[in-house]
Each structure stands twice: as C-alpha cells, then as structure tokens.
Structure 1
Amino acid sequence: MRAVLFDRDGTLVHDVPYNGDPEQVRPVDGAREVLDALRARGVRVGVVSNQSGVARGLLTSAQVDAVNRRVEDLLGPFDVWQVCPHGPDDACVCRKPAPGMVVRAAAALGIAPAECAVVGDIGADVGAAVAAGARAVLVPTAVTRTEEVDAAPLVAPDLRAAVAMLGVGP
C-alpha cells in the first residue's frame, strides 16, 4: 500500500453540509496523528472529495479551495487532492462512486490504483475504491446506512483502526 486516499467530509473532518467556511472545519479525533504516522512511514496521503455544492450553486470553487487549505492547515500537507464539483445528475466520471478521482489521484502520485486504499464514511467512497481497483475501508458515522456497512469489504471504528487494517498505520 503506497497511498491512502481519504474522503474529506465525515472522514477527516466533521461533516458540515456544503461547507464554504474554513472556520467551521473541525478534524475528527485522531486524524492528524494518523496522517502524520502515514507520512512518517513514507505512505502518500490524498483527498478525494465530492463537492456537489458547487454544481448546486451553494458553494464556489474558491470556497471549496479555502476549506481545503484550512484542512491542510490543521492536518498537514496532502500529496494529492481530487475534488469533483459536479452534481449527481451530471454523469461525470469523477463523482464517487465512479472511479475517476481515485484513478486520477493514483496517476498524479505515479502509482497504480491497486497500490492505493480509500478510506471513507459512506458507500460511495467504497464504491469508488472498488471501481478503481483500490482497497476500501469504511469508517461509519451516524449518516452511514446499514446496507453500506454490510456491503463494505472492511469496516473500522475509526481512522487509526482503518489504516491498521491496511497494514500501513499505527
């Protein structure tokens, strides 16, 4: 496993629907420590994030960028960012559960998708990983549906356990 790609909202930071305000960014417990441990082991880290608020007119790309900068301020640098600004009906290849962001993130890192894992909180995150040929770990939250948990290949109670399951974490 050469890279771990994380969903942003609900996985690395607490989900604030359509957040365009960097001041509302709050990391989940242990996120910084897990990311720092991965970095220390030479594992590349990235973010793959659906941001349909842009397509819906609820956010601007500049707001998404500002929130992403705040995430980096709090959690440290990421090797790659992939953001899908499209809505659910746009039929793009990047919006999770489509594999586009995972494939592009792997390409940007110079590795194959099979050398990546995706950690997320909903079935779309798992679906994108599987579709791209990457490993997937679901870290459920209050919004994760039971059927998503049941369908996930790996389920972890938190980020630390998720990366441990992948054999790359603390």
Structure 2
Amino acid sequence: MTNEKPIILLDRDGVINYDSDQYVKTLNEWQPIPGSIKSIAALSKAGFQVYVVTNQSGIARGYYTIDTLHKMHEKMTQLVEAEGGKIAGIQYCPHGPDDNCDCRKPKSGMIEAIEKELRVDFNQTPAIMIGDSKRDLEAGIARGCKAVLVLTGKGRETQYKDMGFHFNVFTDLAAFTLDTLFKYQ
C-alpha cells in the first residue's frame, strides 16, 4: 500500500445526509446522517482532500432551485467547518436523466472536473469514490477510483446488485473514516 493519501469523493444524499425518494428539496429537509459531518472533518484534519460529487436532478425537475441547493451546500460546509474540517470542493449535476449530459453519474464528468482542477489522473493518483448507489460507484470506477459502498441511504439495496467490479462495504461514512484513518496514521 502507498502512503499517499487518496482523494476522497463523496456522494451527498444517502452518504452525508438523509436521502428521500421525494428528493431533499428544502434547507430544513437537508439533515446530516449521524457521524457524517464529524467524519468529513476528521478526514480533512488528517490531511485528506474531501470532495462532494452529487446528482441533483431535482433542479431539472423543478423541485428546488440552484439557490436552494447552494444554501444546502453552505449548511453542509459550515457544519464541517464548525468541526474543524474543510470540504475541498463540491461538484453537482443539475440535469435530469434524459438531458444527455456528461456529468450525471454514472457518467464521470464531475470526477473529471475534479481531476482537471487538481491536475491529476485518478488512474495514477489514488482516489476513493464513496456512495450508496451503483451509479456512484460506476462513476468512480470509470475514472480509476476505488469504490466504497456505504449501507446508509440506498446502500442496503445496492449491495445485492450485480456490480461487475470490486468494491468495499462499510456500514456508514463513520465506519469508513475510522478504517481509513487507521490505515493512513
């Protein structure tokens, strides 16, 4: 194993905050999963760069605005900063499933944008994509990331899908964080 700390890529809904089949549409509906905020802060304080990579088709569907999304992300960022951590960046796809964009997971456009920003290639630079759905992991695998499934959100259903690639499983972001901090101490 290399000592180089991987870049951490997190899906948002179902990994950081509670997900909803009716979409997370308001600032009040955006509620962190217990332990997720402290986990992001702990990873950040340990020297990991943490990015959020999230599909937000509720914008294209008219369920909420980009302004509301920014307020949710501001809340998330402030909570992490209050714990002494930092989110290095947030990439979101505002498109719907039929918009044929390059950014909506399982496509890897958002991850490619992070690679471009950092001037790296995740086929050479270690990165881990953490999600609760198959498409999260597929987007990461497409760019050379290791895949981690958390069992929060839709993860319990996802774990039984035929993936066609290796992935690790953790009960939640906090369990992943404890394991990762131990490996890279």
TM-score, length basis structure 2: 0.81
The alpha carbon displacement at 1:58 in A equals 1.4
* CA distance in structure 2 between the aligned counterparts of 1:135 and 1:167, rounded to whole angstroms: 17
Structure 1 residues 149 and 4: CA distance shift in structure 2, 3 A? farther
State the partner residue of 1:159.
173
Deviating more after overlay: 1-10 vs 137-146? 137-146
Deviation above 4 Å: which 4+ runs of structure 1? 146-150, 165-170
* CA distance in structure 1 between the aligned counterparts of 2:51 and 2:15, rounded to whole angstroms: 12
The one-letter amino acid of 1:2's match is P
Asked if 1:18 corresponds to 2:41, the answer is: no
Q: Show the 5 A alignment for 1:135-150.
A: 135-141=146-152, 143-144=154-155, 145-146=157-158
The one-letter amino acid of 1:154's match is N
Q: Match for 1:4 among 5, 8, 30?
A: 8
> Helix, strand or coil for the counterpart of 1:155?
strand
Asked if 1:96 corresponds to 2:101, the answer is: no
Q: Contact (CA 8 Å) 2:26, 2:64: kept in 1 or not?
A: no
The one-letter amino acid of 1:81's match is I
What is the total number of aligned residue pairs between the two structures?
Answer: 170
Structure 1 residues 166 and 104: CA distance shift in structure 2, 3 A? farther
Q: Contact (CA 8 Å) 1:99, 1:129: kept in 2 or not?
A: yes
**Deviation by residue 1:102-138 (Cα, 9 ceiling, x = unmatched):** 1112322333224221111111110110111111100
> Unpaired runs of 5+ in structure 1?
none
Q: Contact (CA 8 Å) 2:55, 2:92: kept in 1 or not?
A: yes
* CA distance in structure 2 between the aligned counterparts of 1:73 and 1:64, rounded to whole angstroms: 14
Structure 1 residues 132 and 167: CA distance shift in structure 2, 3 A? farther
Q: What is the root-mean-square deviation of aligned Cα atoms in Å?
A: 2.2
Q: Contact (CA 8 Å) 1:122, 1:148: kept in 2 or not?
A: no
Q: Contact (CA 8 Å) 2:134, 2:158: kept in 1 or not?
A: no
Q: Percent identity?
A: 34
